[in-house]
Structure 1
Amino acid sequence: MTRDTRPRRGQIPTLLTILTTSTLLTLSATQNSKRGIAYVGNPHVPDNALLTSTNTPLIWYYNWAPSPPREVPSANLEFVPLIHGLDEASSESTGRQLSNLPDSSRHLLSFNEPDGTTNSGGSSISPEDAAQSYIEHIVPMRNGNRAWKISQPSVTGSGNGLDWLRRFNESCYELDAENGCPADFIAAHWYGAFDGLASWLGTLDEFYNTNGSRGEGEGMKIWVTELALPQQDAQVTVQMMNLTLPYLDQLDYVERYAWFGAFRADDANEWTGDGVALFDDDGGLTELGALYMGDGFSEGQKGEGEGAAGQLLANWRMMLPPLLTAVWFSIY
């Protein structure tokens, strides 16, 4: 006897059912993600389309500035602004840029590597000057219309960075004995091997949460906003990422992290080397890039098209597997 496998009335899924199921599958894959990108500028539209596609594991990005780059549409990713130095903190222009950001932007980074030099991308600010500016210009944003969640300055991952943070917080309490320099999360940088990363994160957690003034259960989360293994070949870097991703994903006090390398290998600078690049010279995902993007992405995969039409095609192709899954389970 042959089983009648034709769908009966009421079993044929509607387009709305399919799209809803697909959306839920996509959301379930990303809702617990911590992953983002430190965006240094990628002029290739297909690369950016792939990073921001509907099934991306990335949930946020930043570009060391208070406003987002034109190249990255932020509909699927939260843009996180950064106030780089003293001039930006006191500028009325910065305030206007922040007020024009979409409602999805709720977190604010402050003072990029103040213990570093301007030649290396740091803001080169003394702890005393940083504390004064932070209290005067950054802290009021926590109580403004948007109620920004703000980070303390993000120092280099070094002994100099830790010493700078100690002096900064001492200056904060000298200026405001009751509140110091309040913050909602910690921003950390790390360039190096996995064991050094684990040690540095443990040091910051101890400095702020174990030995800090916050009470039980009030510890601040850490965002690793710059992360890479510079000047190593691709295989060594892949090994480092294989250790790093599951470690950061399971570490309770790490809330978000961003890899420094959302560019093509031939666009890498001399200091980082091309081993950190998520894309090869032709725009395909490197082995590292496929690992960072996770399930559903493969080495050599490229984004498609130019502009909105190309993005739509790329999104549709990425949605096809969950759509077919939705159809199958709706019928059977």
Structure 2
Amino acid sequence: MVLLVPLSLCLSLLFASASFAKNAKRGVSFPSSNNQADIQNLNQTKSEISWQYDWGIYPAPFLAESGIEYVPMQWGAGGIENLSNAMASQQSKHLLAFNEPDFDQQSNIDPNFAAQLWMQYIEPLKSSGIKLGGPAVSSGATGVPWLQAFFSACSNCTIDFIPIHWYGVGVEGFYDYMWQVHSQFGNRTVWVTEYADTSLNETDVESFLNQTTTYMDGLDWVERYAWFGYFRPENGSAYSKFDLTSSS
């Protein structure tokens, strides 16, 4: 028969912990289209994971029942009129905002329009004590300029933390980008909600993951992070967290 076995590239550091202690920073990005047993397995193991998200505002039932904090995301402009009810029904304490709005293959929102949406639908949530995460731009050439335009257009917006995405090879570029966003936008705290070393060498990726998790655990302005992603390998990627192992 074929058994699904979770294989963390970081092994003991990211997921497993002999003490069973949760790490408030460490999360997973887990699309609800993935295998339900994967997230259930994670919750039942010696996991340090304390939060999860799936790029939506409502969790699938198996995510809601996993025992891991679910953080809603308003991915794009669609359905934003339902956001307030979604947050209230889940008693959520954090919100992630627009997903890579600078990228035409993601939420693709003009920064001025994003500012209007924010003031109409997101800013009022602050009165309920919800911590508001700004738009999560890509780490490509359009990302920081988009975020600069958004901050200029939304000077009255309350942005408690900035989610960031980063993909590349090697820790230096990742560290430089984190510090750039942190310092350029008012020294706000940061959530790294998507990041991965895109090398196809598993040893290099494991080294990157070990180094970066230790580094971020030591930065007080990095509040949370989630590796991309808690998936099964595809297209030769070395950054996925699950593998298929055959056993008879």
Quote how far apart the aligned CAs of 1:41 are: 3.8
Match of 2:28 in 1: 37
Q: CA deviation at 1:283?
A: 9.0
2:152 is matched with which residue? 170
Structure 1 outlier segments of 4+, above 6 Å: none
Report the Cα distance in structure 1 between the residues aligned to 2:78 and 2:168, rounded to whole angstroms: 31
The aligned counterpart of 1:248 is 216
**Larger RCO of the pair (alpha carbons < 8 Å, separation 6+):** 2
The reply on whether 1:95 has 2:71 as its aligned counterpart is: no
Whether 1:198 and 2:211 are equivalent positions in the alignment is no
Given the two structures, how large is their TM-score scaled by the length of structure 1?
A: 0.64
- In structure 2, stretches of 5+ residues that fail to align are 1-18
Report the alpha carbon displacement of residue 160 of structure 1 after superposing the two structures with TM.
1.5
Q: State whether residues 42 and 71 of structure 1, in contact with CA within 8 Å, keep that contact through their aligned partners in structure 2.
A: no
Structure ID, larger Rg: 1
Residue in 2 that maps onto 1:115: 102
For residues 308-327 of structure 1, the aligned pairs below 5 Å read none
The one-letter code sitting in structure 2 at the alignment partner of 1:123 is: S
The correspondence of residues 143-222 of structure 1 with structure 2, limited to 5 A, is: 143-144=127-128, 147-173=129-155, 180-193=156-169, 194-209=171-186, 219-222=187-190
Cα deviation 1:177-207 (Å, max 9, x = unaligned):
xxx2111111000111311110100101111
CA contact (8 A) 1:186 1:221 kept: yes
1:130 matches 2:97: no
- Give 5+ residue unaligned stretches, structure 1: 1-24, 174-179, 210-218, 285-332
Question: How far apart are the structure 2 equivalents of 1:69 and 1:192?
Answer: 31
Quickly say closer, same or farther: Cα 1:282–1:42, change in 2 above 3 A. Answer: farther
**Residues of 1 paired with 2:124 and 2:37: CA distance?**
40
Secondary structure at the residue paired with 1:52? helix
Q: Is the Cα contact below 8 Å between 2:57 and 2:86 reproduced in 1?
A: yes
Report if the CA contact (8 A) 1:43-1:71 is conserved: no
Residues 35, 60 of structure 1: 8 Å contact kept:
yes
Match of 1:55 among 18, 32, 46: 46
Q: CA RMSD in A?
A: 2.1
> Which has the larger strand fraction?
2
Q: 1:225 to 1:74 in 2, by over 3 A?
A: farther
Residue 225 of structure 1 aligns to a residue in which SS?
Answer: strand
Indicate the SS of the match to 1:162.
Answer: helix
The question of 1:234 aligning with 2:202 is answered yes
Structure with bigger helix share is 1
Alpha-carbon distance in structure 1 between the residues aligned to 2:50 and 2:142: 31
Q: How many matched pairs?
A: 228
SS in 2 for 1:49: helix
AA in 2 matched with 1:72: L
> Deviation of residue 43 (structure 1)?
4.2
Quote how far apart the aligned CAs of 1:117 are: 1.6
Match of 2:241 in 1: 278
Report Cα offsets for 1:222-242 as digits up to 9, x if no partner. 000001122523222112112
Q: CA deviation at 1:63?
A: 0.5
Q: Return the letter of the residue paired with 2:131.
A: K
Letter in 1 for 2:113: D
One-letter amino acid of the counterpart of residue 24, structure 2? S
Are 1:115 and 1:161, in contact at CA under 8 Å, matched by a contact in 2?
A: yes
Q: Given the two structures, how large is their TM-score scaled by the length of structure 2?
A: 0.84
Contact 2:229 2:239 survives alignment (8 Å): yes
- Report the counterpart of residue 60 of structure 2 in structure 1: 69
Take 1:195 and 1:41, find their aligned partners in 2: how far apart are those partners? 32
Q: Distance in 2 between matches of 1:283 and 1:257?
A: 32
CA contact (8 A) 2:192 2:225 kept: yes
Q: Distance in 2 between matches of 1:166 and 1:56?
A: 37
1:82-140 deviations in whole A, cap 9, x for unaligned? Answer: 00112232x23x33332221x4x31001111000123xxx2101111111111111100
- Counterpart AA for 2:100: E
Counterpart contact for 1:36–1:256, Cα < 8 Å? yes
